[in-house]
Amino acid sequence: MKPTTLVEFVRDTYQTDKFIPLHAPTFSGNEKAYVNETIASTFVSSVGKFVDEFEQKIEAYTGSAKAVATMNGTAALHAALYMAGVERGDLVITQALTFVATCNALYHMGAEPIFVDVSPVSLGLCPKAVDTYLGEYAELTEQGCVHKKTRQRIRAVVPMHTFGHPVELDELVAVCLKWQLVLVEDAAESLGSFYKGKHTGTLGDYSAISFNGNKVITTGGGGMVLCRTKEQGARTKHVTTTAKVPHPFEFYHDEPGFNYRMPNLNAALGCAQMEVLEAYLVKKRVLAEQYAVLFAGSEYSFVREPEYAQSNYWLNAIICPNKSSRDQLLEQTNAAGVMTRPIWQLMHRLPMFQNALRGDLTHSEFIEAHLVNIPSTPVEIVKK
Ligand SMILES: *Cc1c(COP(=O)(O)O)cnc(C)c1O
């Protein structure tokens, strides 16, 4: 199959001769009405009804005990790691195949990543690889799980649901129990993705969702921490809102807090976007199905959701037969105004994480060299 066939298919699908992005936001519902309402009310900032409403909508949709809105997904992840008890000097297991925000959040907790391989099926953290790494390099002590060589505490495991495809969560939960580790899900990309009927981000102790402009739905910038219990949720809300102890007029803060609040203006956008989420997800599945048909029998392999899961198909992806065909596809499609992108360079190639501990990364390296993301915005009029 020639790269021009993909270009033609995408142009035909989106019915435009203009530049086609990977994932553009679409506002077809009550976005303007709700945003105008916040402006009219003057409650555009950290107080307002839309923040509570948005949190409740996310709780109802995901089945999370408590959702706490934040200013972006990285802030949500930072707060989640803080709540998970990650401390300066701790080690945190995550994947090298992720967006840099996952590692930035744990870096700013003073922790260091250990990079473990991903599963070729989910593209996310592989439970077997985590268990194998721990079996070789870790031991359980009075202090919990400790790295045998560095003697640092290993505190948490942070899987990321790559492009919306859920990782094997039951198996990861079991590995975390076995090794006394806290599970924090980076669910930034997976709103609308379910693992065996449960929403991603609800099996870990904490998780983070992003509402950045390129995600499934957007609040402009925004994030959400999902918490497993109401108590954890109450404390997460407390620390993300400067840890102020409620009082009619006194300012008293009982721990070093974050100001990670989501402004009401952004939450208004989020409430409107939640109303169209289901429709977007249906459209995204239709598009993924069409891509699957297009690539069937070609040298490109379309990335499907794992059989145990329902993915939101946030970003569609294909695996190219080799690196040179990948580069050729990237060059020809981008030159034709159809945006395609390689996956992120692996985290241990970045200067700040090059000395991080790591296990075998065979699958991560393969995916890094072969994967290309293709346009994934939900289509209004899907032809054929
Ligand atoms: C988008 C994203 C984030 C962070 O989200 P922001 O809202 O942009 O801060 C974190 N992790 C992953 C994997 C992401 O894709």
Same domain, 285 and 242: no
pLDDT of residue 28: 87
Residue-level pLDDT at 382? 42
336 with 370, same domain: the answer is: yes
pLDDT tens-digit series, residues 3-44: 999 999 999 999 999 999 999 999 989 999 999 999 999 999
The tens digit of pLDDT for each residue in 273-328 reads 999 999 999 999 999 999 999 999 999 999 999 999 999 999 999 999 999 999 99
Evaluate if residue 384 carries a pLDDT over 60.
no
- 233 pLDDT higher than 70: yes
Q: Tell me, yes or no, whether 356 and 216 share the same domain.
A: no
Distance 98 CA to ligand 1 centre (A): 9
Distances 178 to 113, 138, 147, 171, 337 between C-alpha atoms, Å = 20, 12, 15, 11, 50
Query: Is there a single domain that holds both residue 197 and residue 288?
Result: no
* Same domain, yes or no: 107 and 238: yes
**pLDDT at residue 46 in the model:** 87
Please tell me whether residues 66 and 152 are part of one structural domain.
Answer: yes
Q: What is the CA(99)–ligand 1 centre distance, in A?
A: 7
Reply yes or no on whether the pLDDT at 232 is more than 80.
yes
Confidence (pTM): 0.97
For the CA of 222, the nearest atom of ligand 1 = 7
Average pLDDT over residues 242-248: 96
Name residues contacting ligand 1 (CB within 6 A). Answer: 72-74, 77, 98-99, 101-102, 160, 186, 188-189, 210, 212, 223
Q: Is 88 within 8 Å of 302 (Cβ atoms)?
A: no
User: Is 380 part of a structural domain of the chain?
Assistant: no
Task: Write down which residue in 216, 244, 274 finishes a domain.
Answer: 274
- Pick from 274, 307, 325: which residue ends a domain? 274
**Mean pLDDT over each residue of the chain, to the nearest integer:** 97
| 223 CA closest ligand 1 atom index | 7
Q: What is the CATH number of the domain that holds 61?
A: 3.40.640.10
Task: Tell which atom from ligand 1 comes closest to the C-alpha of 160.
Answer: 13
Nearest-CA residue for atom 7 of ligand 1: 73
pLDDT over threshold 70, residue 383: no
Task: Report the CATH number at residue 354.
Answer: 3.90.1150.10
CA distance linking residue 33 with residue 36, whole number of Å: 5
Structure-token pair, residue 96: 């090298």
Residues 286 and 303 in one domain: yes
The edge-to-edge listing of strands for the beta sheet with 341-342 is 301-302, 316-319, 371-374, 341-342
Q: Give me the half-sphere count of Cα atoms (radius 13 Å) on the Cβ side of residue 367.
A: 27
What's the whole-number mean pLDDT along residues 186-190? 98
Q: Which domain holds residue 19?
A: 3-26+277-374
Overall number of domains in the chain: 2
Query: Which of 72, 74, 184 should be mutated for ligand 1, with most atoms under 8 A from CB?
Result: 74
Contact of 50 with 270, CB cutoff 8 Å? yes
What value does the mean pLDDT take over residues 51-68?
A: 98
Ligand 1 site-directed mutation target among 210, 240, 266, most atoms within 8 Å of CB: 210
- 3-state SS assignment for residue 135: helix
The pLDDT confidence band at residue 200, using thresholds 50, 70 and 90, is very high
